[in-house]
Amino acid sequence: MKAEGYRVAVIGGGAAGMMAALSAARLLPEGKVVLLEKNPGLGRKLNATGNGRCNFSNRYCRWQDYGGKDLSLVRSAFEHLNPAETTALFEELGILSREESEGRLYPYSEQATSVTEALHEELKAKGVSLRLGTEVISVSKQGNGFHIESGEGFIEADVLIIATGGKAGHRFGSTGDGYGFAKGFGHTLERPLPALVRIVTEDTFAGRLKGVRAKGSVSLAKGHEIIAAEEGEIQFTEDGLSGICVFDLSRYLGEEPAAYHIRIDLFP
């Protein structure tokens, strides 16, 4: 079977994959970009963000707000597309935005599907070949390009963008395929750990308050040292704590969550 040829191939039809394909299509002639997504539709996880409302950016977000050992990639991304430019791009696609507390930006329709649909329509308008319901089996480097095998055949591309996401949200199809593809090219990976998630507690008191939401401050401590603290709405769940302020703290837990304890102040 003869392989199809493209300048750019993107694996993954989520937010990153759609934006990558759209960015490439705006620079290349029509028909030179292909996007492969194993789900039957694009943006499955995107449609669930912000409780279905799609909190697509934050007016005050800066690259310095991110955590990690090397922020050079984050800094470069912000230099190419900052929150103001993101809002302008969305308006160009017909998506007006509204700003809520703490600079959070949502589509004016308050429907995440409106963002997905706008991106989908723009991809088609720019001539991107969309291969939905197409799972990639393997990828390899061949000469100056890349060879991609899927259940539907073979594709060759000069540039390959892996935008499959991580392992979070299995119900949306996120299974960590991209990790395997990256390792196949010789990249090394650090062990993936949960981040931006609710925190499960050993103490069962939270279960007795299940469903309660309250403004307050939350501190994460290890021994007598306060590691980090956040303020905002705290949500009590059947097995722990949730809410944006809790999500922001979860990234500090690392591989030993049991070594930390949480302090809650409902009257900060």
DSSP result, 77-126: HHHHS-HHHHHHHHHHTT--EEE-GGGEEEETT--HHHHHHHHHHHHHHT
Mean pLDDT rounded to a whole number for the chain: 93
Residues 15-63 pLDDT 10s: 999 999 999 999 999 999 999 999 999 999 999 988 899 999 999 999 9
pLDDT score of 11 more than 90: yes
**Domains assigned to the chain:** 4-54+111-184 (3.50.50.60), 199-265 (no CATH)
Nearest-angstrom CA–CA distance, 11 and 9:
7
The amino acid sitting at 70 is D
- Determine the pLDDT at residue 193: 84
**Does the pLDDT at position 126 exceed 90?**
yes
pLDDT tens per residue across span 69-82: 889 999 999 999 99
- Over residues 169-185, the pLDDT tens digits come to 778 888 889 999 999 99
What is the band of 205 on the pLDDT scale with cuts at 50, 70, 90? confident
Q: Mean pLDDT throughout 221-250?
A: 93
CA 202 and chain centroid, separation: 29
